[in-house]
Amino acid sequence: MSRPHLVVIPAVPDVVLARLRERADVTDVSSMPRAEWGAALADATGVLGGSGVPIDAAFLAQAPALRIVAMQSVGYDSVDLAALRERGVVLTNSRGSLTEAVADTAYWLVTAALRDYGRSMAWARDGRWLREGDAPYGHDLQGATLGIVGLGAIGAAVARRAQAGGMRVIYSNRHPRTDDAATGAAYRTFDQLLAEADCVVALVPLTPQTRRMFDAAAFARMKPTAYFVNAARGAVCDTAALLKALERKQIAGAALDVTDPEPLPPDHPLFAREDVLIVPHVGSATVETRTRMAMLAAENLLAFIDGKPLLTPVEV
Ligand code: DGY
């Protein structure tokens, strides 16, 4: 019997490719130009996908035999769910494998924003330390209020870190959770949270409802002393509105792991601002976590091939 053919889109560790090759023929297209993927996709049963490559109707048209897409990301906003549904293709994501790494990044961005570390780093590097002495002071985290927009598994892990550092944590979700006593975070409506938090951190998935939810009106509701952190998806924030809010000093600063567009061009005005710190979507980017994410995607593909229950299925 012929072995199923799997196509791997992002660069994954060798150990993951070796695991897949135990049961399937595998084509790693990670270093091939996009235009040359057609031959590999033509008879692919499964695809291991990453958040940078849209899986849409045009992609599916190239892969007529495709039956499963296994994402090595928790987010699947790059996947056209309706197109998958129409073709009967199943989907999995990598939830659970990156919670702590992303929470580390999100909480570090909260710390960096409140303490103004972006400006301090520039101050040391460009000689102002030598010429002018101390950098401007940041603010204590202890006693400050963190507003988490989207308290899922990653949000709860951020809340734990913040509470350990003495922060008060509030959150907004589509619906209040039933375990506020366990998370120690108090529910607020989105507008209440914006008005109350000293730092607002976005951790919502990107959906039609959350796209650009951080717009001019949202920034206008925040305190002028408050900071905005985005560790979700760039498009939950209206970039032009964020820039305007910073220019008008409606908010005190921002720290971003994700941007819209992504990557942000190096000449973008946000890069020129010392009240903004930007890192290039590194939330889950550790050797261990990225290996775990890719391996989970691989195990989902193998479970599918073997007719076993999927580990982390997503409803399409
Ligand atoms: C995710 O898993 O969605 C992270 O943002 C990495 O892409």
Catalytic residue among 128, 177, 211, 262: 262
Q: How far is the CA of 278 from the centre of ligand 1 (A)?
A: 16
When pLDDT is averaged across residues 238-242 and rounded to a whole number, the result is 98
CA-wise closest residue to 253 among 228, 234, 231: 228
When pLDDT is averaged across residues 260-288 and rounded to a whole number, the result is 98
pLDDT tens-digit profile of 18-42?
A: 999 999 999 999 999 999 999 999 9
pLDDT tens-digit profile of 43-57?
A: 999 999 999 999 999
For all residues of the chain together, what is the average pLDDT?
Answer: 97
User: Domains in the chain and their CATH numbers?
Assistant: 5-97+287-314 (3.40.50.720), 99-278 (3.40.50.720)
Angle in degrees, 0-180, between the axes of helices 99-115 and 117-125, rounded to the nearest 10:
70
pLDDT tens-digit profile of 180-204?
A: 899 999 999 999 999 999 999 999 9
Q: Is the pLDDT of residue 1 over 70?
A: no
CA-wise closest residue to 197 among 222, 176, 217, 215: 222
Residue pair 68/301 in contact (Cβ under 8 Å)? The answer is yes
Catalytic residue among 281, 290, 292, 299: 281
Residue pair 33/53 in contact (Cβ under 8 Å)? The answer is no
When pLDDT is averaged across residues 288-313 and rounded to a whole number, the result is 98
Angle in degrees, 0-180, between the axes of helices 153-164 and 99-115, rounded to the nearest 10:
50
pLDDT cut 70: percent of the chain above it: 100
Helix (H), strand (E) at residue 229: strand 227-230
Q: How far is the CA of 3 from the centre of ligand 1 (A)?
A: 30
Q: Which amino acid is at 78?
A: S
Confidence of residue 10 (pLDDT cuts 50, 70, 90): very high
First to last CA, the chain: 30
Confidence of residue 2 (pLDDT cuts 50, 70, 90): confident
